[in-house]
Amino acid sequence: MTAIETTGLTKRYGATTAVADLDLRVPEGVVYGFLGPNGAGKTTTMRMLTSLTRPSSGSARVAGVPTDDREHLIERVGYLPEEPPLYTELTAREQLTYAAGLRDLPEEATSQRVEELLDRLDLSGDADRRIDAYSKGMRQKTAFVQSLLHDPDVLFLDEPTSGLDPRAARTIRKMIDDLADEGTTVFLSTHILPVVDEHADTVGVLYDGRLVAEGPPGDLKRQADAGESTDERTLEDVFLEVTSEDPAADEATVEGATDVR
Ligand SMILES: Nc1ncnc2c1ncn2[C@@H]1O[C@H](COP(=O)(O)OP(=O)(O)OP(=O)(O)O)[C@@H](O)[C@H]1O
């Protein structure tokens, strides 16, 4: 099944077109790296795909559910936004119990899952402290657990390793791989290109609201004209090339993998 499918998905804010006519097909169980410069429309896309923002036109289905069917959609998707909202007067354990309650998740199984996830992220020892006393990384870990609690089919992650120390960041990256192995589709937006290079099966690059390149990282690198041997090309070269204002660079970009312009 296709995990994410969008047709002509568009969002306008007044005169600004944040996302323009986006056609995406993301198969189940893959890690999809969603890249783009600041203001390219990544957050807006994720907000539309999680039913937090309505498209101006076009449509989308996630896990087979139309995104305008919010009630059913939220059972199937998880979202870790860049600045996750948490009740800072609660402890992490209370926050997670509260979130599970909102979703009507079975108590015992959920509590076991919470403990496993907290333990994996090295947060068990702090789980009964109030979130307002947490570091940025501890808040991030709490929000990450919250996005996963209901075992979503499709998980949207916006800069999931933001503020995390190297060990915690590595744990999250490993969890992303494990989730995909278990069949979860992970839609990963980050500016940390080596993470995308290592973990994403497919990369999509958004520029000015449009998808300007898409394909497996290796294919994109092979086809990028970075003036270097293939081995030395990085995803950063691809990114800079396909998001360039320079029309000459626009001509000679990543043809083939799926250059979608
Ligand atoms: N609520 C809003 N009202 C008006 N304009 C908005 C709103 N949200 C986003 N935009 C505009 O839409 C465009 C895309 O923004 P978006 O936040 O989706 O980009 P992004 O790719 O997530 O950027 P970043 O990498 O900086 O997080 C920008 O021009 C932004 O100013």
Distance of CA 220 to CAs 26, 174, 234, Å? 17, 24, 9
Gap from CA of 201 to ligand 1 centroid (Å)? 26
pLDDT of residue 250: 45
Please, which pLDDT band fits residue 230 given cuts at 50, 70 and 90? low
pLDDT of residue 244: 86
- Please, is 129 exposed, middle or buried when counting C-beta atoms within 10 Å of its C-beta (0-12, 13-18, 19+)? middle
ipTM of the complex: 0.98
Mutation test of ligand 1: which of 9, 11, 13, 211 has the most ligand atoms closer than 8 Å to its C-beta? Answer: 13
pLDDT of residue 249: 46
Give me 247's structure tokens. Answer: 């029309």
Closest CA to 209 of 21, 32, 25: 21
Gap from CA of 66 to ligand 1 centroid (Å)? 23
More confident site: 248 or 140: 140
Please, which pLDDT band fits residue 85 given cuts at 50, 70 and 90? confident
Residue of minimum CA distance from atom 27 in ligand 1? 38
**Mean pLDDT confidence for 191-204:** 95
What distance in Å separates the CA atoms of residue 245 and residue 250, rounded to the nearest whole number?
8
What distance in Å separates the CA atoms of residue 64 and residue 76, rounded to the nearest whole number?
9
Residue of minimum CA distance from atom 3 in ligand 1? 13
pLDDT of residue 227: 57
pLDDT of residue 163: 86
Residue of minimum CA distance from atom 29 in ligand 1? 39
Half-sphere exposure of 12 (CA within 13 A, CB side): 7
Please, which pLDDT band fits residue 152 given cuts at 50, 70 and 90? very high
Distance of CA 56 to CAs 45, 49, 62, 129, 156, Å? 12, 13, 18, 42, 21
Lowest mean pLDDT segment, chosen from 5-9, 11-15, 117-121, 250-254: 250-254
Report domain extents, the chain: 2-251
Which atom belonging to ligand 1 lies closest to the Cα atom of 41?
A: 18
Which atom belonging to ligand 1 lies closest to the Cα atom of 44?
A: 18
Mutation test of ligand 1: which of 11, 22, 34, 42 has the most ligand atoms closer than 8 Å to its C-beta? Answer: 42
Q: Which CATH superfamily is domain 2-251 in?
A: P-loop containing nucleotide triphosphate hydrolases (3.40.50.300)
Structural element, H or E, at residue 6: strand 2-13
Summarize pLDDT for 98-135 with one digit per residue, the tens: 999 999 999 888 999 999 999 999 999 999 999 999 99
User: Ligand 1: which residues within 6 Å by Cβ?
Assistant: 13, 16, 18, 36, 38-44
pLDDT of residue 7: 98
What distance in Å separates the CA atoms of residue 29 and residue 156, rounded to the nearest whole number?
13
